Amino acid sequence: MTSEIMELYHFPRDRISECGVPHFDVYSQENQFIPRTVLLQELKLPLDLPYIFYGMVAKFFAQMSSKF
């Protein structure tokens, strides 16, 4: 997004600070993840099958999510 704001709005690079959304920081910290085998064992699921898991988001971040 930095290049877009520089190109489209002619904003100087030295006035741009790149940062992220704090509640997404956990996704970059691998030590926060539960190992696949541990998760599947806790859920009593076979370890040799593929899975797709969907997670819910807190209403604080997506107040309309329950309507979709």
pLDDT tier, 66 (very low <50, low <70, confident <90, very high otherwise) = low
Tens digit of each residue's pLDDT (9 = 90 or more) over 5-54: 999 999 999 999 888 777 777 777 878 788 999 999 999 999 999 999 87
38's tokens: 């541990």
2 and 18 Cβ atoms separated by less than 8 Å: yes
To the question of pTM greater than 0.85 for the whole model, the response is no
- How far, in Å, CA of 61 to CA of 5, rounded? 25
Q: Residue 62: is its pLDDT beyond 70?
A: no
Q: What is the pLDDT of residue 56?
A: 67
pLDDT at 68 over 70: no
